Amino acid sequence: MRGGCHCGAIRFKVTARPYWIGACYCVDCQKISGATHLVFAGFKEGQIELIQGTPKEYFSSTKVTRSFCNTCSSPFIFAYKTNPADVFIPTGVFDDSDTLTPQEHIFASEKPSWVKIGDNYPQNK
């Protein structure tokens, strides 16, 4: 599967299906997306190939780094400093995200109260 940022500066591909997909409603994801949540797909570090571009990286909290396109600000990689082998990519930056269905909702307690989750997947926290 391939993907990239909105302006096209960053292009990447993944060589495997994600091992996990979850929708995150934490306040950091709300700030970063400018929306109610981000849906992340989890991969192992070696399964992601950067084809072009240089994402900018920063610490969004003491344990988490996030990267994004320095031109259009599309979010890209989320990784834990303590566990860099697990890498998470927002599903919306894939060229086709239709099959990337979340299997759980995380930090659901932080979502805006008007967001109603309409499926029966687990909601954590």
For position 9 contacting Zn ion by CB under 5 A, the verdict is yes
Question: Closest Cα partner for 25 from 96, 93, 105?
Answer: 105
- Closer residue to Zn ion in complex, CB, 4/14: 4
SS3 98: coil
- Closer residue to Zn ion in complex, CB, 61/99: 61
DSSP letter for 33, please. H
To Zn ion, the closest distance from the beta carbon of 45 in angstroms equals 20
- Closer residue to Zn ion in complex, CB, 65/71: 71
Spell out, one character per residue from 28 to 47, where the chain touches Zn ion: x when CB under 5 A holds, - when not.
-x------------------
Q: How many residues bind Zn ion (CB under 5 A)?
A: 9
To Zn ion, the closest distance from the beta carbon of 37 in angstroms equals 7
- Closer residue to Zn ion in complex, CB, 71/97: 71
CA atoms within 13 A on the CB side of 7: 14
The DSSP secondary structure of 50-87, one letter per residue, reads EEE---EEEEEETTEEEEE-TTT--EEEEEETTEEEEE
d(CA 56, CA 35): 21
Query: Applying CB under 5 A, which residues contact Zn ion?
Result: 5, 7, 9, 24, 26, 29, 69, 71-72
